């Protein structure tokens, strides 16, 4: 059933709803798409978000012809590329440039020009935009232009605005969003926690929103499902091991430990100590740095880069010992008393043959060694898939292969193990039974809110004080 707030919003041609985490935003969007007459365009920001909406639509048996669900970026690119004269999108633009602001502004220019107004009116009866708090100034420009042509309703939560996009800042919810799309109201029922059988957590999180919005946090007076543990502001991953568990954890439950958003190596080390795996950004910095090494290094320097990746991505890889063994294989093979292992032989082969196939072989051999386990599966498997794509398609460049693999991974969605280490930026939009928040996980009130609302059953906070302001 549509919420009364949504029904009230539908009395006008444009509007917005503030939708706190866990209050049924996606459900309301899919209900709208199914019940409103005509065909509706539904836009969100990520491929995972697109798939989540499509799953809900299929569950509700909404006919596919009633909706088009897409990311804002992909939809904008197709329209801007199809009408380059009116959009002004340069023919030289490529996705590898990562300049999506140019695409958004091109799409906005196209819609504003009026050149495609009749086509849009014939194609859609309205547009629904999800996660509007993550819209930038250029996104907002496009959606406002669309709202001049068709009905337009946006859903978002300003407390979850944690992403940044460089020179294209997030649009301000108070001064810009609700000015363009009048606010109909805010959802206030914690459906996520009600369904999980822990309504107290949901009621507390929703009741505390005014305090969270002001940057005030009080864990001393929280319900029993919220545990505060006094902790130093900075702790080594090894020292956090004893606190990274959740009371009430059962077989099949999921636990996410949220750690620093900027220290991916620290997250990997913490995962090793607690027997977890990491959540990684697709095509993230560690992956890009490794591809740079593949393009620029040779000989033992390249071997070192492969071992650095293996040491970070696997537990039990013994990268330092392997480095010494490889040096002996290359420099003094006759003095080695213990024959090289398959992994050591493959690594030494990289120094002689710095090919992508040799690197792939070495990583595969390391993965098969006894006692070696994957700690950063998304990173290692992404690298291996990229190398494999290059080996199987010799004419494909490394950069193009990595882009292809990244897009495939986005479309398939990520698989997160029951025990994971991530950050607020990486788990936003995801849900876990239990969450542990380390002292380095949150830097702003928005990050704190996102971290707290990832849990369906319990939250443990490690911080210096139980009451503080940020």
CA dist., res. 32 & res. 17, Å (int): 13
**344 with 329: CB under 8 angstroms?**
yes
Residue 243 is encoded by which pair of tokens?
A: 């606190």
What pLDDT is stored for residue 51 in this prediction?
A: 85
CA dist., res. 99 & res. 142, Å (int): 16
Task: Tell me the pLDDT band of 34, cut-offs 50, 70 and 90.
Answer: very high
Residue 221 is encoded by which pair of tokens?
A: 């007076």
Residues 291 and 271 in one domain: no
What pLDDT is stored for residue 248 in this prediction?
A: 83
What pLDDT is stored for residue 359 in this prediction?
A: 98
Structural domain span for residue 429: 194-277+418-469
Residues 168 and 62 in one domain: yes
Helix H or strand E segment including 157? none
Average pLDDT over residues 8-12: 97
DSSP code string of 205-246: HHHTHHHHHTTEEE-TTS-TTEEEEE--SS--HHHHGGG---
- The residue written with tokens 């990684």 in the block is 280
Count of alpha carbons within 13 angstroms of residue 397, beta-carbon side: 6
CA dist., res. 83 & res. 386, Å (int): 33
Q: Which of 41-50, 136-145, 359-368 has the lowest mean pLDDT?
A: 41-50
Environment class of residue 247 by beta-carbon count within 10 Å: exposed (0-12), middle (13-18) or buried (19+)? exposed
CA dist., res. 339 & res. 443, Å (int): 50
Give 52 or 309, the one with higher predicted confidence.
Answer: 309
- The residue written with tokens 């002004």 in the block is 88
Q: Which residues have CB under 8 Å from 195's CB, separation 6+?
A: none
CA dist., res. 266 & res. 240, Å (int): 11
Last residue of a domain, one of 412, 428, 450: 412
What pLDDT is stored for residue 376 in this prediction?
A: 98
CA dist., res. 452 & res. 188, Å (int): 16
Residues 247 and 270 in one domain: yes
What pLDDT is stored for residue 188 in this prediction?
A: 96
- The residue written with tokens 């190596």 in the block is 265
Task: Tell me the pLDDT band of 52, cut-offs 50, 70 and 90.
Answer: confident
What pLDDT is stored for residue 457 in this prediction?
A: 96
Average pLDDT over residues 317-326: 95
Average pLDDT over residues 215-240: 95
Residues 24 and 149 in one domain: yes
Residues 10 and 155 in one domain: yes
CA dist., res. 253 & res. 198, Å (int): 14
Residues 337 and 424 in one domain: no
DSSP code string of 74-95: HHHHHHHHHSHHHH---TT--G
Average model confidence (pLDDT) across the chain? 95
Task: Tell me the pLDDT band of 64, cut-offs 50, 70 and 90.
Answer: confident
**24 with 205: CB under 8 angstroms?**
no
Helix H or strand E segment including 461? strand 455-463
CA dist., res. 310 & res. 394, Å (int): 24
Residue 246 is part of a domain; what is its CATH number? 3.40.50.300
Per-residue pLDDT of 328-385, as tens digits, reads: 999 988 777 889 999 999 999 999 999 999 999 999 999 999 999 999 999 999 999 9
Beta bridge partners of 17: 155, 185
Per-residue pLDDT of 67-92, as tens digits, reads: 999 999 999 999 999 999 999 999 99
What pLDDT is stored for residue 94 in this prediction?
A: 83
Q: Angle, to 10 degrees, between the axis of helix 47-59 and the axis of helix 25-35?
A: 60
Residues 104 and 201 in one domain: no
Residue 342 is encoded by which pair of tokens?
A: 């398959």
- The residue written with tokens 């305090």 in the block is 211
According to DSSP, the β-strands at 314-315 and 373-374 are antiparallel
Last residue of a domain, one of 365, 386, 412: 412
Environment class of residue 165 by beta-carbon count within 10 Å: exposed (0-12), middle (13-18) or buried (19+)? middle
What pLDDT is stored for residue 334 in this prediction?
A: 77
Residues 356 and 422 in one domain: no
Scored b (16 or more CB within 10 A) or e, 279-304 reads bbbbbeebbeebbebbeebeebebbb
Residue 83 is encoded by which pair of tokens?
A: 């009408």
Q: Angle, to 10 degrees, between the axis of helix 299-313 and the axis of helix 264-274?
A: 50
- The residue written with tokens 């099949």 in the block is 252
Average pLDDT over residues 421-425: 96
Average pLDDT over residues 290-299: 96
Residues 144 and 178 in one domain: yes
Of 131, 219, 134, 216, whose CA–CA distance to 172 is shortest? 134
Per-residue pLDDT of 96-134, as tens digits, reads: 777 899 999 999 999 999 999 999 999 999 999 999 999
Residues 396 and 311 in one domain: yes
Q: How many domains does the chain have?
A: 3
Q: What is the pTM of this model?
A: 0.92
Count of alpha carbons within 13 angstroms of residue 222, beta-carbon side: 24
Helix H or strand E segment including 292? helix 285-296
Residues 245 and 258 in one domain: yes
Q: Which percentage of the chain shows pLDDT scores above 90?
A: 88
Residues 9 and 136 in one domain: yes
């Amino acid at each position: 059933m549509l919420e009364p707030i949504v029904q009230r919003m539908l009395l006008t041609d444009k509007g917005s709803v503030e939708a706190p985490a866990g209050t049924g935003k996606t459900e309301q969007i899919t209900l709208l798409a199914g019940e409103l007459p005509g065909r509706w365009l539904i836009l969100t920001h990520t491929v995972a978000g697109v798939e989540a909406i499509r799953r809900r639509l299929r569950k509700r048996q909404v006919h596919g012809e009633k909706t088009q669900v897409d990311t804002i970026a992909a939809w904008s690119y197709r329209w801007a590329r199809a009408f380059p004269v009116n959009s002004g999108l340069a023919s030289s633009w490529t996705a590898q440039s990562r300049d999506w602001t140019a695409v958004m502004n091109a799409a906005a220019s196209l819609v504003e020009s009026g050149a495609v107004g009749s086509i849009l009116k014939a194609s859609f009866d309205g547009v629904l935009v999800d996660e509007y708090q993550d819209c930038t100034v250029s996104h907002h420009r496009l959606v406002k232009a669309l709202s001049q042509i068709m009905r337009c309703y946006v859903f978002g939560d300003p407390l979850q605005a944690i992403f940044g996009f460089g020179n294209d800042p997030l649009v301000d919810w108070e001064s810009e969003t609700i000015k363009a799309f009048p606010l109909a109201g805010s959802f206030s029922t914690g459906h996520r926690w009600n369904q999980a059988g822990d309504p107290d957590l949901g009621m507390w999180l929703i009741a505390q929103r005014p305090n969270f919005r002001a940057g005030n946090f009080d864990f001393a007076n929280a319900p029993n499902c919220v545990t505060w543990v006094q902790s130093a502001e900075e702790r080594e991953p090894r020292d956090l091991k004893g606190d990274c568990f959740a009371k009430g954890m059962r077989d099949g439950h999921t636990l996410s430990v949220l750690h620093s958003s900027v220290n991916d190596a620290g997250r990997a080390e913490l995962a090793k100590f607690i027997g977890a795996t990491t959540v990684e950004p697709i095509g993230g910095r560690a992956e890009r740095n490794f591809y740079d090494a593949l393009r620029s290094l040779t000989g033992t320097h390249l071997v070192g880069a492969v071992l650095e990746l293996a040491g970070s991505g696997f537990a039990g890889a013994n990268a330092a010992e392997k480095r010494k063994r490889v040096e002996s294989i290359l420099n003094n093979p006759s003095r080695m008393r213990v024959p090289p292992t398959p992994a050591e032989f493959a690594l030494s082969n990289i120094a002689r043959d710095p090919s992508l196939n040799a690197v792939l072989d070495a990583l595969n051999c390391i993965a098969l060694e006894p006692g070696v386990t994957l700690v950063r599966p998304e990173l290692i498997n992404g690298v291996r898939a990229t190398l494999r794509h290059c080996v199987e398609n010799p004419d494909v460049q490394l950069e193009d292969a990595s882009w292809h693999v990244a897009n495939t991974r986005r479309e398939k969605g990520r698989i997160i193990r029951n025990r994971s280490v991530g950050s607020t930026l990486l788990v936003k939009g995801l849900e876990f039974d239990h969450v542990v928040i380390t002292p380095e996980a949150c830097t702003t009130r928005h990050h704190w809110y996102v971290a707290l609302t990832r849990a369906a059953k319990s939250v443990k906070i490690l911080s210096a004080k139980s009451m503080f302001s940020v």
